[in-house]
């Protein structure tokens, strides 16, 4: 059987161990996403599956026989572990109610390894340091529980406090455990109220073992609630040992008022009989009849004391009836752990557990948050491709010579401006001529002619021309190409990068104006430009025409003297009127020409400058944004690609492991029949001999009698 077990262990680990590295890499990679929105539940599930796979592989590889010990608090579980290991393990197995699993195995050197929910582990070499560390862990755990309750959440250490301790591995010299390859597993109190998920941890772990020990004090044996969940143990384990912890030193009050030995001391089997006859439920009774449930009344304290003493004394000198009871239990436990039944259960349980864990792993990998990672990678790569295209497009746009694009607009606007200026100039000239005619018929001054008749016409001309140019430019800019001639490809590329020309045009029109290029109109007529007639006395007194003009019109800088109609006729007349018209035309022509150019160039240059500047600045900003996004995308793609690679690697490893486990199940599905056939052949001579020889008296034996 050991050969078959070794062969199965090798094949099983060869099938499952290649899954552990991809699982560890994927879990570590996903842990980096915890602060990026990844569900805590998913990470907790991955860590749990990883932990359970590691436990399972180590168990099968070391061919360890897990013996789970259950029972109410203070029932004697730790004392039983002392007795089974023949070593003092209570100092660590009975930790102060911290809800974690405690594994006790043989090792040459003492060591205590704490494993947390986040996978971190710490090793201690003395129990005092361990106890101090556990006390601090209690405080931290209690605080985390209170904080979760204050938030209205049901506390789960895998989600809310991954620093919590999930198991303690106790390694110490314990020869009996070495001989049997047994691992004693102390569980939290079975019926203690654990409101933060440790009960689930305990229940899931039961599937990794085939035998369990249920410890109950004799005082609690007849309490119905003690066995409320015992039926679940019957469904999970091939063999259950019910150890009734009796007190062999207990005394009762006798009829004469003296103390007499209690039933527990005189005949503990009567307690078992009473339990079987009056309190045992039907499922327990059926299990006992099938010999799946074995009941032993044992004084655990006395048995542990004698087992510890046996390390220093000759076992034959301390053998007793009480020790024989424990030895019988120990011997049957050892026989079961070395039996065909256990080997078959070990193989089938290991295969079943691996299939369950792979199903859980597949379920986690099938969750939307994991599946969507491939879609996220595809989306990121599409975005990178799009951003790279935008980068190339922006480079092309940056090289485009925008000044060339305004040539056609300049020609159209110039032509329309010239046509409009002719219209406005003709009207202004007509109005100014009419103003001059009116002036000769009034007593108004030359200054009044300039300010009231001539300059308003010029101002109107300027304002109307500027308004026309601005309106025409705005109309041109309202088109999809902003009124400028650009190649169709350039316009399309601008829209591709999200920078349509019409958006720039609106801003450019709002910021457009002729500005300081349009000079303010000044006086068109100067007194020096007006010829005056000399009268008789002017000749006699040698008056110059300058002095005559000064006296008639006023100072040249402010010709504000009112002139009568008769004086205008006598002093000025027709020649002066014609001269004034010629002077007005000369001044007006030069001014309007300058205005036409200033209005046309001012608005167009402003529009060109603002639009070109906006486009260049936005293109530069966009190019910088795209470059930064491309750089960020490279990091994101590398990160998500690695994550997807880890998930794909894990999925493939899980699939391969599943196929190999399916092959093992096919190869070992009839192993129980083969082993029983071999067992019958091997045991037949022994059975005949046993029938002829008297049954030997039980004696203290280790867990593995063969050792």
Q: Give the span between the Cα atoms of 678 and 467, in whole angstroms.
A: 113
Supply φ then ψ for residue 60, to 5 degrees. -70, -40
At residue 569, does pLDDT exceed 60?
yes
Closest Cα partner for 184 from 79, 98, 74, 75? 79
Domain boundary among 626, 644, 661: 626
Asked if residue 162 belongs to a domain, the reply is: no
Asked if residue 705 belongs to a domain, the reply is: no
The phi-psi region of residue 334 (left if phi > 0; otherwise alpha if psi is between -120 and 50; otherwise beta) is: alpha
Mean pLDDT of 385-403: 88
- pLDDT, averaged across the chain: 80
How high is the pLDDT of residue 388? 94
Number of structural domains the chain divides into: 2
Asked if residue 551 belongs to a domain, the reply is: yes
310 and 439 together in one domain? no
Asked if residue 166 belongs to a domain, the reply is: no
Alpha helices in 399-497 (DSSP H): 407-440, 446-448, 455-477, 488-496
421 and 330 together in one domain? no
How high is the pLDDT of residue 683? 42
* Helix (H) or strand (E) segment spanning residue 252: strand 251-253
* Helix (H) or strand (E) segment spanning residue 596: helix 573-668
8-state DSSP, 225? G
How high is the pLDDT of residue 684? 43
Closest Cα partner for 580 from 606, 549, 608? 549
436 and 536 together in one domain? yes
Q: Give the span between the Cα atoms of 592 and 417, in whole angstroms.
A: 12
Q: Give the span between the Cα atoms of 457 and 428, in whole angstroms.
A: 6
Domain boundary among 571, 601, 626: 626
Among the listed ranges 133-137, 221-225, 556-560, which one has the minimum average pLDDT value? 221-225
Task: Write the DSSP string, 287-338.
Answer: HHHTTSEEEEEE-HHHHHHHHHHTTTS-HHHH--HHHHHHHHHHHHHHHHHT
For residue 121, list its beta bridge partners. 115
* The two three-digit tokens of residue 668, written as one number: 């070992």
406 and 531 together in one domain? yes
Mean pLDDT of 450-469: 88
Mean pLDDT of 443-463: 89
594 and 681 together in one domain? no
Radius of gyration for the chain, computed over Cα atoms and rounded to the nearest angstrom: 53
Asked if residue 158 belongs to a domain, the reply is: no
Tens of pLDDT along 89-125? 765 544 556 777 888 888 888 888 999 888 889 998 8
The residue behind tokens 């195995």 is 105
How high is the pLDDT of residue 259? 67
How high is the pLDDT of residue 195? 45
Among the listed ranges 345-349, 353-357, 484-488, 635-639, which one has the minimum average pLDDT value? 484-488
Burial class for 191, CB neighbours closer than 10 Å (0-12, 13-18, 19+):
middle
406 and 359 together in one domain? no
Q: Give the span between the Cα atoms of 285 and 151, in whole angstroms.
A: 47
Asked if residue 446 belongs to a domain, the reply is: yes
Return the half-sphere exposure (C-beta side, CA atoms, 13 A cut-off) of residue 273: 6
297 and 444 together in one domain? no
Q: Give the span between the Cα atoms of 276 and 269, in whole angstroms.
A: 10
428 and 336 together in one domain? no
Closest Cα partner for 181 from 107, 256, 244? 107
Asked if residue 114 belongs to a domain, the reply is: no
Tens of pLDDT along 398-436? 888 877 778 788 888 888 888 988 999 999 999 989 998
- State the residue range of the domain holding 73: 2-100+179-365+670-692
CATH at residue 257: 3.40.50.300
Asked if residue 37 belongs to a domain, the reply is: yes
Question: Which distant-in-sequence residues (6+ apart) come within 8 Å of 517 by Cβ?
Answer: 598, 599, 601, 602
Question: Which distant-in-sequence residues (6+ apart) come within 8 Å of 625 by Cβ?
Answer: none
Ranked by mean pLDDT, the top range of 69-73, 300-304, 552-556, 661-665 is 661-665
At residue 203, does pLDDT exceed 60?
no
How high is the pLDDT of residue 602? 79
Question: Which distant-in-sequence residues (6+ apart) come within 8 Å of 387 by Cβ?
Answer: 626, 629, 630, 633
422 and 541 together in one domain? yes
Which long-range contacts link 85-91 to residues 24+ away (Cβ below 8 Å)?
85/172, 85/174, 85/176, 85/177, 85/184, 86/174, 86/175, 86/176, 86/307, 86/308, 86/310, 86/311, 86/702, 87/172, 87/173, 87/174, 87/308, 88/308, 89/170, 89/172, 89/174, 89/184, 91/127, 91/131
Tens of pLDDT along 503-526? 777 777 877 766 556 777 777 788
Tens of pLDDT along 216-272? 888 887 777 777 777 777 877 878 999 988 887 776 666 766 666 676 676 777 788
Task: Write the DSSP string, 122-146.
Answer: EEESSHHHHHHHHHHHHHHHHHHHH
For residue 213, list its beta bridge partners. 69, 241
Tens of pLDDT along 53-75? 998 998 898 888 888 888 887 88
8-state DSSP, 113? E
Among the listed ranges 171-175, 581-585, 637-641, which one has the minimum average pLDDT value? 171-175
More confident: 222 or 35: 222
Mean pLDDT of 555-582: 87
358 and 406 together in one domain? no
Local confidence band at 207 (pLDDT 50, 70, 90 cut-offs) = low
At residue 1, does pLDDT exceed 60?
no
Local confidence band at 310 (pLDDT 50, 70, 90 cut-offs) = low
How high is the pLDDT of residue 555? 87
More confident: 694 or 403: 403
At residue 197, does pLDDT exceed 70?
no
């Amino acid at each position: 059987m050991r050969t078959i077990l070794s062969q199965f262990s090798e094949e099983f680990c060869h099938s499952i161990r290649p899954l552990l590295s991809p699982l560890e890499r994927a879990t570590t990679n996903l842990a980096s996403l915890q602060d990026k929105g990844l569900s805590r539940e998913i990470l907790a599930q991955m860590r749990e599956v990883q932990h359970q796979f590691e436990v399972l592989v180590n168990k099968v590889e070391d061919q360890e026989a897990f013996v789970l010990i259950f029972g109410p608090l203070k029932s004697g579980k730790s004392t039983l572990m002392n007795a089974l290991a023949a070593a003092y393990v209570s100092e660590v197995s009975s930790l102060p109610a911290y809800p974690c699993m405690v594994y006790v195995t043989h090792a040459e050197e003492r060591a205590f390894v704490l494993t947390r929910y986040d996978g971190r582990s710490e090793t201690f070499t003395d129990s005092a340091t361990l106890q101090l560390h556990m006390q601090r862990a209690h405080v931290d755990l209690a605080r985390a529980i209170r904080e979760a309750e204050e938030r209205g959440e049901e506390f789960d250490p895998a989600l809310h406090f991954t620093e919590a301790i999930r198991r303690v591995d106790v390694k110490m010299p314990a020869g009996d455990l070495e001989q049997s390859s047994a691992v004693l597993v102390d569980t939290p109190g079975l019926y203690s109220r654990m409101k933060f998920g440790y009960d689930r941890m305990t229940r899931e772990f039961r599937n990794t073992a085939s035998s369990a020990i249920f410890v109950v004090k004799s005082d609690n044996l007849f309490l119905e609630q003690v066995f409320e969940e015992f039926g679940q143990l019957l469904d999970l384990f091939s063999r259950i040992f019910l150890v009734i912890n009796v007190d062999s030193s207990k005394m009762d009050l006798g009829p004469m008022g003296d103390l007499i030995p209690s039933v527990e001391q005189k005949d503990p089997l009567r307690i078992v009989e009473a339990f079987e006859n009056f309190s045992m439920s039907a499922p327990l009774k059926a299990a006992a009849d099938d010999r799946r449930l074995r009941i032993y009344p044992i004084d655990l304290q006395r048995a542990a004391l004698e087992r510890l003493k046996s390390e220093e004394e000759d076992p034959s000198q301390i053998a007793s009836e009480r020790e024989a009871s424990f030895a019988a239990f120990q011997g049957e436990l050892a026989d079961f752990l070395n039996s065909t039944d256990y080997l078959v259960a070990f193989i089938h349980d290991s295969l079943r557990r691996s299939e369950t864990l792979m199903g859980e792993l597949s379920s986690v990998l099938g969750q939307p948050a994991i599946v969507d990672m491939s879609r996220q990678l595809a989306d990121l790569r599409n975005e990178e491709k799009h951003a790279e295209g935008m980068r190339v497009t922006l480079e092309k746009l940056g090289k485009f010579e925008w000044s060339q694009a305004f040539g056609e607009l300049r020609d159209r606007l110039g032509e329309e401006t010239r046509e409009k200026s002719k219209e406005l100039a003709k009207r202004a000239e007509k109005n100014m001529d009419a103003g001059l005619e009116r002036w000769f018929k009034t007593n108004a001054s030359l200054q009044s002619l300039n300010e009231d008749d001539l300059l308003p016409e010029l101002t109107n001309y300027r304002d109307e021309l500027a308004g026309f140019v601005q309106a025409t430019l705005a109309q041109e800019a309202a088109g999809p190409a902003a009124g400028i001639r650009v190649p169709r490809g350039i316009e399309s590329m601008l829209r591709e990068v999200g920078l349509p020309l019409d958006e720039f045009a609106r801003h450019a029109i709002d910021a457009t104006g002729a500005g300081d290029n349009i000079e303010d109109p000044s006086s068109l007529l100067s007194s020096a430009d007006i010829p005056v007639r000399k009268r008789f006395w002017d000749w006699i007194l040698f008056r110059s025409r300058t002095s005559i003009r000064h006296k008639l019109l006023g100072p040249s800088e402010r010709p504000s003297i009112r002139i009568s109609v008769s004086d205008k006729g006598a002093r000025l007349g027709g020649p002066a009127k014609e001269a004034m018209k010629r002077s007005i035309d000369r001044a007006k022509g030069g001014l309007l020409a300058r205005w036409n150019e200033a209005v046309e160039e001012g608005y167009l240059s402003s529009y060109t400058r603002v639009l070109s500047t906006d486009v260049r600045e936005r293109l530069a900003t966009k190019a910088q944004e795209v470059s930064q996004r491309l750089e960020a995308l490279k990091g994101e793609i590398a990160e998500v690609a690695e994550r997807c690679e880890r998930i794909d690697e894990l999925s493939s490893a899980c699939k391969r492991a599943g196929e190999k486990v399916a092959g093992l199940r096919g190869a070992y599905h009839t192993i129980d029949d083969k082993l029983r056939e071999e067992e019958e052949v091997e045991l037949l001579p022994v059975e005949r001999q046993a029938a002829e020889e008297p049954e030997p008296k039980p004696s203290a034996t280790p867990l593995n009698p063969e050792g």
